[in-house]
Structure 1
Amino acid sequence: MKILVTGANGFIGKNLVAELNNRGYKDILKITKNSEDSILEKYTKECDFVFHLAGINRSNNVDEFMDGNIGITSKLLELLKYHGNKSPILMTSSIQAGNDSPYGISKKAAEDLLTNYYYETDIKVFIYRLPNIFGKWSKPNYNTVVATYCHNIARGLDIQINNADTELTLAYIDDVLEEFINALNGNPTIHGEFCIVPIAHDIKLGKLVELIKSFKASRSNLNVPNMEDGLTKKLYSTYLSFLPPDQFSYELKMNLDQRGSFTEFIKTPDRGQVSINISKPGITKGNHWHHTKNEKFLVVSGEGLIRFRNMDTNEVIEYKVTGLNLQVLDIPVGYTHSIINIGECDLITVMWANECFNPIKSDTYFEEV
């Protein structure tokens, strides 16, 4: 199958081409704003399916909207007719189509061209009235407010909020691509006169800003966003794609002493925290127990001895652990426990606790094993 993609270098286009390649579609005919007319004429003769994504989103020139949204659509349809090509066409429109803005007027006119084409030829057309699309490779101050906010907040730049209560409907690029592939396979999601992306998210502008700011703050407070919430998960992935290349890394606070170090890595409100413990040779850490807090220890480097004793008995239980044979040890409540570096190099242990450390109520009580 030869798939024609107009607007192939745009936000949706780049993502679509990448996903088509991932799924084994290798014969992709790409049209960009720099393509010669002769290339479009050639491709409209060869293609078996058309993704018509080209268009103008923002401009101070009304003529650019008309040419970029109506002109290119008209040219595409004329060439397909000229070649007698009966390829199905998927076109991206907007929920703003039909409003009184130059953009809305031009998108509605492009829709009408495609609808008339269907009535004239009986060739399948899929018109998608898309909401605000967000995701990687989008452009700030052009594609979506999400891109603008992610870009600016990641860099500490000012953002503009006209009305925090403004309701937005957002669709994530991966959900858009999944729907487009369904349409390619003849299974679009149709709602009334148009096709839709079935997975969309509603959020107020103020809440959107609050979420994106929390992503930046997570580097210092170590709180991981709630990945069970679909929108939060998708927004966080998008935010990370806007990090400046020289700011991918961030430092953690290492609590250092003569025994080694203890560093908190990740915190969650409902699933505890992850920390990294480093013990120098011969050092023993721990010798405490908990009422409710439970932990998991995973030694990833060095050699250690983890010792347990139930507070009701004098029997000591020992486990030898090594970074050469990864195994997780559960630390039950009611057992005093310690970890000893019995090797010649640093002992590095990943530690998970079922709750974040609370200095006011630490649930940690000293007792020698």
Structure 2
Amino acid sequence: MLRLAVTGAGGFLGWHVRVLLRALGWPEPTVLTRSDLADPAVLAARVDGVDRVLHLAGVNRGEPAEVAAGNVQLAAQLAEGLKHCANPPARVVYANSVQAGNGSPYGDSKAAAARLLADTGVDLDNVLLPNLYGEHGRPYYNSAVATFCRVLAEGGRPEVHADRELGLVHVTDAAARLAGVPAGGSWDPAMPALRISVRDLVGRLTEVAATYRTGEIPSLVDRHDVRLFNTYRSHCFPAHYPLPLPRRGDARGELVETVKAHGGAGQTFCSTTRPGITRGEHFHLAKVERFVVLRGSAEISLRRVGDTEVLRFPVRGEEPVLVDMPTMWVHKLVNTGPDELVTMFWTNELFDPDRPDTWPEPVEAARPAPVAVGA
């Protein structure tokens, strides 16, 4: 396990880096704040002896002059602190951009920042990142995917002002690449990209939203299907849940349609849970998971990794509803009734004991938390 220090830990990419490290049980990275960067002596002390510094902090939006100056200043501050460090890190990993050096204020400032970091004497891994997307991105800021998902989740229709091809990489793959996490689980540090036009992206997400509006699962054939769906779901939660399910009954009994999947793998199972017993206390990085209580009463509790607020959904078999677990949210199910609880679970993939994508963590009593997105 590497000892890491991170700038920009409260941003979109920084949060996903810390969630991945948390899932793997790596030590909490040292968080380098803007005030740390402003003081070379303090910064030098905080990075002393770490294996790797991930420089993720940057300025993406604003007036062109502010963007250009901000990216250069952050890199210059980090570089100065490294020069004062008695035991400097073995490597600096810079979250650069494929736009570096493209003639824009943003691109040229990112390229200039890389040159400053290269002059510190510390080995520099200059990673040119493409467009990143993923759960809990800020709309109108982090990516077009986040913007389109938010518009659709709110019932709107995204507009395409200029069509072009995008290369989209899921943020967990980028986090693995930057942190030096080897391939495995649901991530891929090779950062496989989805090549898609803006217009086709909007069409794909619009289909996802239309299918999911009533709880039906869209076609999830490949990993980008799953990750785009998870990204969209992150903009639906918690406002769209729980979703009521119709019950149909006759003299023979009752029927509840719990899952309608339009394509891809899937696994369904049922469990019984005794009164007072808890199931869950874990989170997933990529797996889609659905809970439907069919008999008895329960409480479903969820907490986003890095947050302290716990959301609670009381559910009863007499009024069946679906609650889909958002990725990177710790969740549990507790039988709150006096009788046995019957619950149906559905996941979008067959269970693989070698790659379960199930990361234990209690909902109520969390370890020291990653800085929340946007902090």
The corresponding residue for 1:175 is: 173
Counterpart secondary structure, 2:127: strand
The corresponding residue for 2:158 is: 159
Q: 1:250 aligns with which of 228, 233, 243?
A: 243
1 or 2 for the larger relative contact order (CA 8 Å, sep ≥6)?
2
Deviation (angstroms), 1:177? 2.0
Larger radius of gyration: 1
- Distance in 2 (CA, whole Å) between partners of 1:34 and 1:125 is 23
Deviation (angstroms), 1:213? 1.8
Map 1:1-369 to 2 at 5 A: 2-33=3-34, 35=36, 37-38=38-39, 39-59=42-62, 61-84=63-86, 85-117=88-120, 121=121, 123-163=122-162, 165-182=163-180, 197-220=190-213, 223-269=216-262
Aligned-pair Cα RMSD in Å: 3.4
- Distance in 1 (CA, whole Å) between partners of 2:159 and 2:77 is 38
In terms of mean alpha carbon deviation, does 131-140 or 61-70 score higher?
A: 61-70
The answer to whether the 8 Å contact 1:89/1:124 transfers is yes
Aligned in 2, Cα 1:86/1:42: closer, same or farther, shift over 3 Å? closer
- Distance in 1 (CA, whole Å) between partners of 2:266 and 2:179 is 39
Deviation (angstroms), 1:51? 0.3
Query: What amino acid is aligned across from residue 127 of structure 2 in structure 1?
Result: Y
Deviation (angstroms), 1:137? 2.6
1:304-361 deviations in Å (ceiling 9; x for gaps): xxxxxxxxxxxxxxxxxxxxxxxxxxxxxxxxxxxxxxxxx9xx998x9xxxxxxxxx
1:168-218 deviations in Å (ceiling 9; x for gaps): 110001211222233x78x9xxxxxxxx84411111212211222222222
TM-score by length of 1: 0.64
TM-score by length of 2: 0.63
In terms of mean alpha carbon deviation, does 261-270 or 79-88 score higher?
A: 261-270
Aligned in 2, Cα 1:178/1:42: closer, same or farther, shift over 3 Å? same
The answer to whether the 8 Å contact 2:91/2:124 transfers is yes
Aligned in 2, Cα 1:173/1:52: closer, same or farther, shift over 3 Å? same
Counterpart secondary structure, 2:236: coil
- Distance in 1 (CA, whole Å) between partners of 2:6 and 2:264 is 44
The number of equivalent residue pairs is: 270
- Distance in 2 (CA, whole Å) between partners of 1:78 and 1:46 is 16
Deviation (angstroms), 1:147? 0.7
Which structure 1 segments of 5+ residues have no match?
A: 188-195, 276-299, 303-344, 353-369
- Distance in 2 (CA, whole Å) between partners of 1:114 and 1:226 is 44
After superposing on structure 2, the runs of 4+ consecutive aligned residues of structure 1 that deviate more than 6 Å are 271-275
The answer to whether the 8 Å contact 1:88/1:125 transfers is yes
- Distance in 2 (CA, whole Å) between partners of 1:5 and 1:245 is 30
Once the two structures are aligned, what percentage of the paired residues are identical?
Answer: 30
